[in-house]
């Protein structure tokens, strides 16, 4: 069920096929300081823009982010509608 129309605080809900909107998960590991990690976590938007290995830029929602304090490495999973 998804909201297809909103007017004056209400909405019209209708059935839809969730598989019609595929989500692609990108996982990456990169060096980051603890301050940078905390800044990303506190982001109000929760989105991030990144470049794939082929240089194509994509954006998506942060699905999860883990920080290793010993190695200063972050593991990030981004959910995007863009392949």
9-61 per-position pLDDT tens digit? 566 666 777 777 788 999 999 899 999 988 888 887 778 899 988 999 999 99
* Other Cβ atoms closer than 10 A to 78: 21
- pLDDT, tens digit (0-9, with 9 covering 90-100), for 59-72: 999 999 899 999 99
Which residues are registered as beta bridge partners of 67? 74
| Predicted TM-score (pTM) above 0.75 | no
Chain centroid offset of residue 37 CA: 15
So what's the pLDDT on residue 5? 54
CA angle (37 as vertex; 50, 33 as ends), nearest 5: 100
Tokens of 18: 């969730």
């Amino acid at each position: 069920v998804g909201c297809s129309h909103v007017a004056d605080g209400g909405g019209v809900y209708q059935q839809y096929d969730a598989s019609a909107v595929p989500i692609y998960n990108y996982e990456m590991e990169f060096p980051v300081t603890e301050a940078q990690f905390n800044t990303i976590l506190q982001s109000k938007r929760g989105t991030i823009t990144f470049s794939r290995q082929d240089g194509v830029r994509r954006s998506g929602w942060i699905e999860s982010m883990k920080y290793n304090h010993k190695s200063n490495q972050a593991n990030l999973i981004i959910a995007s509608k863009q392949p």
